[in-house]
Chain A
Amino acid sequence: MSMDRDNSQALLEQVSQALNQGAPLRIQGSNSKAMLGNLITGEVLDTRSHRGIVSYDPTELVLTARAGTPLREIEAALHEAGQMLPCEPPHLGPDATLGGMVAAGLSGPRRPWAGSVRDYVLGTRVITGHGKLLRFGGEVMKNVAGYDVSRLMVGSFGCLGLLTEVSLKVLPRPRQCLSLSLPMGRHEALAELAEWGQQPLPISAACHDGEALYLRLEGGEGSVQSARQRLGGETLDSRFWSDLREQRLAFFNGPAPLWRLSLPNATGELDLPGQQLIDWGGAQRWLTSSAPAQAIRDLVANVGGHATCYAPGADSSPPLPAALMRYHRTLKQQLDPQGVFNPGRLYPDL
């Protein structure tokens, strides 16, 4: 692409200037995940000038790209080679970037079976709070030299440094993909999913909307066909999964605040006011509810999970135990001693 360029020197200069002045930066790509975390102020650092796929060799299963690269460009390159990002990251906007995908660490419907964004990060280049552009991890599948700073960056919302480049493990697209709709109640669906989870079935997505269980089967022809025969149901348009991932289903249109509940596998039905949509085979539930935040958090914590509010505000991130928060602060202090990277975005005092 003609727009591709290495703008890391300019980004480094902007960070150095912020460090010199002790002035906080607000890191952003296309702002597609602005509904997550707290609203913050600070000089905007836009990563989108630093963009482009740096290297991609399909036989290597590794793609390296600059942080400002649009996710759709990366997915198009992968698609052309018959490959994919297995974690199926939500874009939540037309211009979502690789940097935002990694900083937010959100994964799509395939996550329980294929792994999360962090599972596929192999290496990063990061501009640190000491004004250095450094490289961690690499472009190899196995690498245990030093601390795993690359994976630490995933989901840190830019609070520990500025990601400039990421290397990802990618995988071949499955040979067969088939989606099914099976009318059944929520209770029955959760029980079936807990049972099927123990069996080698080629399920790669499972959602329940209160009326029916929606399944995606992915694998070779043989396994997908035999699972289809065993499970029955009606064929479903596979666009359902991108609509779920991008929050385009009617469910997401409600006026009440949207919550993401992350739960242990095999968690039963949750008695919460509002509407619920089951995702990740039960390990993620979407909730639209006007119930008090504390009530939602308490109930979810009681079953071993946590709740994130998809609306910017002082309490959108789930609270951390005091001891854990203390080590978050010391880590932030060590890696960003002047507090220039997105201060307050994840938690008020980070």
Chain B
Amino acid sequence: MNILYDERVDGALPTVDQADLLQALRDALPDLDILHREEDLKPYECDGLSAYRTVPLLVVLPERLEQVQALLRLCHQRGVPVVARGAGTGLSGGALPLAKGILLVMARFNRILEVNPQGRYARVQPGVRNLAISQAAAPHGMYYAPDPSSQIACSIGGNVAENAGGVHCLKYGLTVHNLLKVEILTVEGERLTLGSDALDSPGFDLLALFTGSEGMLGIVTEVTVKLLPKPQVARVLLASFDSVEDAGRAVAEIIAAGIIPGGLEMMDNLAIRAAEDFIHAGYPVDAAAILLCELDGVEADVHDDCERVAAVLAHAGAREVRLACDEAERVRFWAGRKNAFPAVGRISPDYYCMDGTIPRRELPRVLKGISDLSTEYGLRVANVFHAGDGNMHPLILFDANLPGELERAEAIGGKILELCVAVGGSITGEHGVGREKINQMCAQFNSDEITLFHAVKAAFDPRGLLNPGKNIPTLHRCAEFGAMHVRHGHLPFPELERF
């Protein structure tokens, strides 16, 4: 099933004449940068989910809040859909444009407005890059904790819209845990402040509701994030195992020992070999699985915890446990993990990255299930995941040029997500639903739950003009998808060629 906007199942969109709208925008906002020619619009046809592309009706690049406000008012008045975009690094098509909608690019709002070490916050515009916040806070010995793998490029506005994660979530939380305040504009161009400079705010927790709402409830115009003091030290242990089940159990035993690592990552043999071949991190290529366990904090505690974790790992059946002897080795251990996706890209013409979460106790069972599916479908699956918080990123290897491989990759991907939902997990841990998983939403939520999501949307955007078609499927789509689901016995899945 194609995931591009389909008015038949996703709802009719108003037809807007491009020339008319362009003229109206120019009249109302003479100093607003507007792209309207095909060749100028083309670069904006997709986000990080590049397999799916739609050329937008128009692209606008505002620089001032008043422009965004006036634009929204005009679009609201004329019934024109608006899709917001930050840096366009999202992996689920959350910023995939609409042929009948305006793409609102917030990238020019790129100023850091305030870094306040005493107040432990930074106030920034939405187009500021995630890493730039930590760089600005670094002279004060502080940082912004969430670190999605795209942190060098992704914008904080997009992080808020997606509730972005990273490799340190178990200890430091997701975006939602690291925000104080967000300024937004509603679809009507009304300014709202969600959250506050204090640690809590009166009324309903709309800050939590808006975080991860994928641009469906309002447009983020300013973000105040929490800053944390940088941990004194970080040390990394690398443990190798002869079975993935042992590695999974080791994760549970570390937690049971009362230790919350800063990062706890697992890779299986295929991922280990691909990464080692690419990065030469010093990984044991004959191990069935490795665990990378990072402990951070005050020196004395980290030292003690390293000893405790090493003992736990040995007890859990690790055949080798290595502590990175210096910063260079620590960085090298991590480089293998951080480059696992491109590394897998070198050993297969195509691959397809999943983002499911599961309760950690199900890890051995789900890994076994994935391994069985891999045999059944005749496709290799490399497993890379945030083991500490049960966020899996299985990578399905296939060759789109071989007849039937893409279909088999889609089928096994669907089965893996079904497995995640079946053991009590989720179809997305950090990449978001966007367009990519719009059909799988129907597997995770029943029609009453989806109806309630639509009610939430209606409270802020009753006409459905903000990012229509993303995040929450229509019941019509679920009915159709459900019928298809029963007919073929698998979840259909899009092709992905990305990392």
Which residues of A are at the interface with B, using a C-beta cutoff of 8 A?
57-62, 82, 105, 107, 111-112, 115-116, 118-119, 128, 130, 132, 134-136, 138-149, 151-152, 154-156, 159-160, 171-173, 175, 194-195, 197-202, 219-223, 225-226, 262-266, 280, 283-284, 304-306, 308, 317-321, 323-325, 327-328, 330-331, 333-335, 346-347
Q: How far does the Cβ of B136 sit from chain A's closest Cβ, in whole Å?
A: 14
B19 at the interface (CB under 8 A from A): no
Contacts between the two chains (Cβ within 8 Å), count = 278
Write the nearest CB–CB distance from B70 to chain A, whole angstroms: 17
Instruction: Report chain A residues within 8 Å CB of B208.
Output: 118, 148, 151-152, 154
**B-chain residues with CB within 8 Å of residue A171 when the two chains form the complex:** 260
Find out whether the CB atom of A226 lies under 8 angstroms from the CB atom of B196.
no
Beyond A105-B200, A116-B200, A142-B357: 18 further Cβ-contacts under 8 Å? A134-B452, A138-B424, A138-B426, A139-B424, A144-B162, A144-B428, A146-B444, A146-B450, A148-B163, A149-B209, A149-B456, A152-B205, A172-B259, A221-B304, A265-B118, A266-B118, A304-B196, A306-B198
User: B232 on the interface (CB 8 Å rule)?
Assistant: yes
A135 / chain B contacts, CB cutoff of 8 Å: 449
Please tell me if the beta carbons of B229 and A199 are within 8 angstroms of each other in the complex: yes
Q: Is there contact, CB below 8 Å, between B453 and A62?
A: no
Partner of B260, one of A62, A115, A172: A172
Inter-subunit contact A200/B459 (CB<8 Å): no
Tell me which of B231, B361, B432 contacts A200 (CB under 8 A).
B231
Say whether B445 faces chain A, with CB atoms less than 8 Å apart.
yes
| Chain A residues closer than 8 Å to B317, beta-carbon distance | none
Q: A140-B429, A155-B204 are in contact. Are A200 and B229 (CB under 8 A)?
A: yes
A265 to B358, CA, bound (A): 36
Stretch in B41-49, B56-64, B184-192 touching the partner: B184-192
Contact status B430-A142, CB under 8 Å: yes
The 4 A-B pairs with the shortest beta carbon distances in the complex, nearest first, are A222-B300, A220-B301, A151-B208, A172-B258
Q: Determine whether the beta carbon of B298 is less than 8 Å from that of A130.
A: no
Min Cβ gap A109→B in Å is 12
Q: Are B141 and A199 in contact (CB under 8 A)?
A: yes
Per the bound structure, the CA–CA distance linking A96 and B477 in Å amounts to: 43
Which residues of B lie under 8 Å from residue A323 when comparing CB positions?
A: 190-192
Selected contact of B141 from candidates A160, A198, A319, CB within 8 Å: A198
| With known contacts A197-B120, A304-B197, A147–B456 Cβ distance under 8 A | yes
Residues of B within 8 A of A200 (CB): 229-232, 297-298
Query: Do A61 and B205 have beta carbons less than 8 Å apart?
Result: no
Q: Which of A61, A144, A175, A347 contacts B432 (CB 8 A)?
A: A144
B199 pairs with A111, CB closer than 8 A: yes
Which residues of B lie under 8 Å from residue A141 when comparing CB positions?
Answer: 169-170, 357, 389-391
A61 touches B255 (CB 8 A): yes
**Residues on the B chain within 8 Å of A149, using CB:** 209, 452-453, 456
Do residues B192 and A324 form an inter-chain contact, with CB atoms below 8 A?
Answer: yes
Partner of A328, one of B118, B177, B204, B456: B204
- Residues of chain B from 137 to 190 with CB closer than 8 A to chain A in the complex: 140-142, 162-163, 165, 169-170, 173-174, 176-177, 186, 190
Selected contact of B173 from candidates A82, A115, A280, A324, CB within 8 Å: A115
Return the chain A residue nearest B194 by Cβ: A324
Minimum CB–CB distance from A187 to chain B (whole Å) comes to 15
Are A320 and B209 also in contact (CB < 8 A) when A59-B253, A144-B163 are? no
State how many angstroms separate the Cβ of B256 from the closest Cβ of chain A.
Answer: 5
Which residues of chain B are near A220, meaning CB under 8 Å?
297-298, 300-301, 304-305
Chain A residues near B142 (CB-CB < 8 A): 198
Chain A residues in 8 Å Cβ range of B217: 147
> Which residues on B sit within 8 Å (CB–CB) of A226?
298, 300
Contact B429 A334 (CB under 8 A): no
Contacts of B361 in A (CB 8 A): 57, 59-60
Q: Determine if B456 and A335 form an interchain contact, defined as CB atoms under 8 angstroms apart.
A: yes
- Is B13 in the interface zone, CB < 8 Å from A? no
Residues of A within 8 A of B278 (CB): none
CB atoms of B118 and A59 under 8 A apart: no
Q: Is B304 touching A222 in the complex (CB atoms < 8 A)?
A: yes
B460 adjacent to chain A (CB < 8 Å): yes
Q: Is the pair A262, B200 in contact by a Cβ cutoff of 8 Å?
A: yes
Neighbour of B358 across the interface among A140, A144, A160, A328, CB < 8 A: A140
A88, chain B: closest CB distance, angstroms: 14
Smallest CB–CB gap between B464 and chain A, Å?
13
Q: Which of A308, A331, A335, A347 gathers the greatest number of chain B CB atoms within 10 Å?
A: A331
Complex alpha-carbon distance, A107 and B200, angstroms: 10
Residues 109-143 of chain B: 1 if any A CB is under 8 Å from the residue's CB, otherwise 0?
A: 00000001111110000000000000000001110
22 A-B interface contacts by CB (under 8 A): A58-B255, A59-B255, A62-B359, A82-B258, A115-B177, A116-B199, A139-B359, A142-B390, A146-B441, A147-B209, A147-B217, A147-B453, A147-B472, A148-B211, A149-B456, A152-B208, A152-B456, A160-B204, A198-B140, A220-B301, A226-B300, A334-B459
**Given A306-B201, A324-B192, A145–B120 Cβ distance below 8 Å?**
no
